[in-house]
Structure 1
Amino acid sequence: MDGLKHADIGAWKYIEEQRHAYFDKMQVWDYTGLGYTRYNAKDVDQDILGCVVENKVLQSSQLSCFQESDLQKTIYPARLNSMDMLPSSSLTGLGEVPSTTDLFMRGRLAKLELSDGNNVYAKLVVGADGSKSRVRELAGIKTTGWNYSQNAIICTVEHSVENFTAWQRFLPNGPIALLPIGDKFSNIVWTMDPTEASDRKTMSEDDFIKAVNDALDYGYGPHPETTTSSPGGLSWLTGDVTISGKERFETPPKVVKLSSERMMFPLSLKHAKDYVSKRVALVGDSAHTVHPLAGQGVNLGFADASALSKAIAEGIALGTDIGETNLLKRYEAERKPANIAMMAVLDGIQKMYAVNFGPLNAFRAAAFHGAHYISPLKKRIISYASGDQSLPLFS
């Protein structure tokens, strides 16, 4: 969750009035007992690594910010039926003060026909309507990608103690994440094959809680063995032990109650071939969807929105038509390479954990240990996760 961008637009004060959770630690490990790493805010001289905010809180906070602003605004609670763009035409033969229809006929506006019968005209249409984007479809922008043979189960759970750590464990069929959202509550994002997901969604609450606790503890395999330096070289220690006198593997807090319904959705990788066309720009899931294993999908969308806002502001300052493709291409040029790089990293990790193979398990363990013990790499990963840097391995 990129709090800085929400602070910039004035939405953060509304978020802080609702449920949210700052976290200062992240722990990532795998079911083989070979791979483990832990990140602390203090490693980069920070008090926190990030903040987890529920989608409904984000939406209500942004809406409150928008409604209380001095901006002229109209909200249409309707679906988009059609979108028309006319090519630019000659300016002759029209009045000195052209009407909205005149500007549309000149190709200076997009025309949106809504399901409630209203027509809306705009210099720029921003498609922020998700992975099944109607704006993208009507603009004729194609996508590439594939479906993963995985579904995700998401829900809210309750603990007997407060949680201040973001946890993720890689299991044979996909990762499970436990993310604090405030008080004694956390969100679960659990990836698995579709058959298992259907079973997890319909099983009793008690059985589901037991399965979650099992997945976050000794289920599927042992706790990681962690290494510490000693005068004689490397010594191997198991369980809740101190690493170099400073860090230790910890077991996540037990789940005691299911606090929401369980939702299930299929996972896919999808990328728009173009982010922009004349008078149209795509942001977030409308332009790209990624595997949720690192929780970066929404942050990529925030970065898109920030970059597009910057391009629009530059266009207004220069007196440029904000719907012109040449202006919008600046946004695409900034975001497309960064998004493709992140998609490649996440897809690679997903594929690497889709196979249980001895040599590959050892390679994954080495990657974990590098992320844990190589200080510069660890700091860059933390800086990226907390939103301070771009991709740690590609900048």
Structure 2
Amino acid sequence: MHVWDALSSESKIDFSAGENGRKNTSAIAYMTENPNLTRALLARLESLEPISSFENAKVTSIDLGPPQDSPGTLNLSSYPHVTTSSSTSPLVARLLIGADGINSPVRTFAHIPTRGWDYDRHGVVATVRLASRGGSHSQIEEAPKVQDNVTAYQRFLPSGPIALLALPGDYASLVWSTTPEQAARLKGLDPADFAAMVNAAFRLSVVDVDYMSKMPSGQVDELAWRLQATDVPREDETKYPRIIESVQEGSVASFPLRMRQADQYVGERVALVGDAAHTIHPLAGQGLNMGLADVASLVRAIEYSVSHGGDIGVQGNLEAYESEMWMKNNRMLGVVDKLHKLYGVSWWPVVGLRSLGLGTVDKFNGLKGWMMSQAGG
């Protein structure tokens, strides 16, 4: 993975599999598309009996059960009752897990507050197709020798980082964090001009990128003209991603960036995981990783409770999950938040200090290995 600062040619850091401290691995991380994860999870659920699934259904309400009718009946007054658009009677949950996103209805039901702030930034995402190295696409000459599509790239612009993450074949996933105004302009460009803007953001100066981002159209020709005056040393060309050749139709989207942390992850018969519990800036690519770690920890807490004859919905039996993950996630949220703020500063003394710090870290493989192990869980 190549990471560098757009405001300093000396500020860069490289991560490679040989530095991550793991044996018998040729990668520091893997990208898996969401449809693949979903298909695998559904296939696993279908193999487990008895499990009921509800398709094309929405949760219409979540309430506590009615008071106990008589002393001899089961008291369900503390159990969540979930009503869906496809059910005639509510679903009664011994444990209701909220994996329902940043605006979690489960969290609202449990009266669990969150703390944090909005970044006044939007993440623009897309799936893009890469040209071959050595091709002549977009009038940009590429270096002829390079590995297959296995490298991730991230460049920190003053408005936010832009990252290109490798997917199978000649495809890659784009995540560009920028201002809401620029995000709207990017989404309004035709696919060729959008691709030209991405190529510019990885190669041109901040002044060039800012100018081109304000153009209503014509980025393809503007990029070709500006590259004629841009000196990209031959030996450094492999530090740039392959040229964006096209954009997958319908894949361009954007979403507001926020930082949130729930005051607690569990309540009586309720547990929160993923974005329902915390939301993070995407610059470190940790959102899904944190959610998966939540699930693994919650499973361990449930397994322990079941194996010891406990009630899986009692808050005390869920606190092992919260004690393991809340502070760990809080530290990650804090680190990423501070990185976002640090790289949003254009004042030259700060740029110089962060360049010095990044260059120093790049010299210590052990430290980089520790950082990768933390990011990888």
TM range (shorter): 0.7 to 0.9
What's the counterpart of residue 48 of structure 2? 70
Q: Which has the higher contact order (CA 8 A, sep 6+)?
A: 2
Structure 1 counterpart SS, 2:49: coil
Pairwise mapping of residues 1-395 of structure 1 onto structure 2 (< 5 A)?
Answer: 26-32=1-7, 33-43=9-19, 44=21, 45=23, 46-67=25-46, 69-77=47-55, 78-85=57-64, 93-94=71-72, 102-105=74-77, 107=78, 109-116=79-86, 117-161=88-132, 162-220=148-206, 239=233, 241=235, 250-261=239-250, 262-387=252-377
Seen in structure 2, the aligned counterparts of structure 1 residues 34 and 292 have a Cα distance that, compared at 3 Å, is same
Structure 2 counterpart SS, 1:367: helix
- Is the strand fraction higher in 1 or 2? 1
* Alignment deviations for residues 45-76 of structure 1 (CA, whole Å, 9 cap, x no partner): 53111110112221122111211x23311112
* Alignment deviations for residues 342-390 of structure 1 (CA, whole Å, 9 cap, x no partner): 0000100011111101111012112211221022211211222343xxx
Aligned mates of 2:202, 2:32 — CA distance in 1: 22
What's the counterpart of residue 4 of structure 1? none
TM-score (normalised: structure 2): 0.83
Query: Does the CA contact (< 8 Å) of 2:98 and 2:272 recur in 1?
Result: yes
CA shift, 1:166, in A, is 1.1
* Alignment deviations for residues 153-204 of structure 1 (CA, whole Å, 9 cap, x no partner): 1000001235111111101110001001110000100010011110011012
Query: Does the CA contact (< 8 Å) of 2:10 and 2:359 recur in 1?
Result: no
Aligned mates of 1:83, 1:156 — CA distance in 2: 36
Structure 1 counterpart SS, 2:123: strand
Aligned mates of 1:300, 1:184 — CA distance in 2: 28
Structure 2 counterpart SS, 1:51: coil
Query: Does the CA contact (< 8 Å) of 1:155 and 1:260 recur in 2?
Result: no
Aligned mates of 1:148, 1:340 — CA distance in 2: 17
Gaps of 5+ in 1: 1-25, 223-237, 243-247, 388-395
TM-score (normalised: structure 1): 0.79
Paired letter, 2:6: Y
* Alignment deviations for residues 61-116 of structure 1 (CA, whole Å, 9 cap, x no partner): 2111211x2331111232222223359989x831xxx5xxx2414x3x33212222
Structure 2 counterpart SS, 1:130: coil
* Alignment deviations for residues 108-162 of structure 1 (CA, whole Å, 9 cap, x no partner): x332122223311121000001111111111111111111110111000001235
What's the counterpart of residue 218 of structure 2? none
Aligned mates of 1:365, 1:212 — CA distance in 2: 24
CA shift, 1:239, in A, is 4.5
Query: Does the CA contact (< 8 Å) of 1:30 and 1:171 recur in 2?
Result: yes
Query: Does the CA contact (< 8 Å) of 2:129 and 2:172 recur in 1?
Result: yes
Structure 2 counterpart SS, 1:182: coil
Paired letter, 1:264: S
Aligned mates of 1:53, 1:157 — CA distance in 2: 15
Q: Give the superposed CA RMSD.
A: 2.2
Q: Percent identity?
A: 33
CA shift, 1:221, in A, is 7.5
